[in-house]
Structure 1
Amino acid sequence: MRSIYKVPMTALFAGLLSLPAQAADQLSGQISFSSRPAVVAVLYVPGAGAHNETPVVDQVDKQFAESLVVVSPGQAVEFKNSDAVDHNIFANDIRKNARFDVGLMPPGGEQSIPADWDENTLVRVGCKIHPKMRMYIASLEARFHKVIEFDSRTREYPLTLTGVPSDADTLVVRIPKYDVVELDLRKGSQWTVALTKKGQPRGEITLARAAP
């Protein structure tokens, strides 16, 4: 007769508690713009991430409830219409191989769209019925990410990043229509980098690693 060895629960919990937690840092600083601010930014540490839950983007008062969501390449985004009017969500960015059109979405409608376009890109999403609506989908592998929304009336924004992996080499800053910024986290503990659009300065980001 085959015997079954049972691991005591106390031993099992002790083993789980002994697993080393991933060390994390906190970075703080500021994002500033020299003129009208951008709409949104995503800051992230490249690497295999765990975007397990499907991001949900709702539509309320003829606006997207989210300015930007992050998905792993190929992961789906769930769009909902909690508005009292129809919407027609679409994207048409040939350079990034991102083209979709969900057609007419009535109130209460839902539609899932896979982010099956180029990796490491921001794709703008709009509504054919309401042209002022816009949001972005960032398709990328990220160990850590943070989305920052901006206000058109404010040029300076305090910034705190909690949970940045201590062994991270790079922090990437992506802002729609801006040049991509990469901060080398291996060099020093303070960074100041210009934000540019087509090579022209539009602001800067400053960060410092918090003291332990």
Structure 2
Amino acid sequence: MPSHPSLDASPQRRRVARLTGPAAVVVTLGGILAATALSPTFSWTTGALSDLGVTPASAWLFNGSLIVGGIVGTPYAWALYSAAADPLSRLRAAAYLLALVAMTGVGLAPAGRPLHLPFAATFFVVAALTAIVDGVARFRLASGKLSVLAGVLAPAAWPVWTLLLDGRGIAVPEFVGAVLFGVWVVALSPERPMRPS
């Protein structure tokens, strides 16, 4: 009978894999913020983050950070899967990996290309779903409840921004979703680096 995946994961490999998720968050969010500073035309209130991917001054940094972040963060999916003890936990790992693939796709297919919108929509939906699935799986814990909250707040930012705050662009709710996904990876996930092995 094959052993459980978590029994095959050496502590050293797990520790390294745990670090790749937060590293990807730093690379991606840091790159996005730096790209906003480089772009001479970007506006938080009237634009979209994807505008940064087609503006010559910022495209290399924005698209590059999404691609590199997606690659760097991939081992974190293994850390999540190797610790999975039930179907919801395995779904959490698969959802996280799909979110990273979609994020990488946004960098590879900038705004205006046919696959851009499907990749972007998939990222925002699946990133929120990752946190919700995790929270449901661990709802007895405080971190599980906060994960559900993070997953719900990410899509809720869109109607709040659009309807209540009269937002014309979508950069703010996009960034809120990205930040909440990053918060889940760094502070709420069961494989966050500071969690005891």
TM-score category of the 2 structures, normalised to the smaller one: under 0.3
Q: TM-score, normalised by structure 1?
A: 0.22
Structure with greater proportional helix content: 2
Q: Which has the larger radius of gyration?
A: 1
- Between Structure 1 and Structure 2, which shows a larger proportion of strand residues? 1
Q: TM-score, normalised by structure 2?
A: 0.23
Task: Report 1 or 2 for greater relative contact order, CA contacts < 8 Å, sequence distance ≥ 6.
Answer: 1
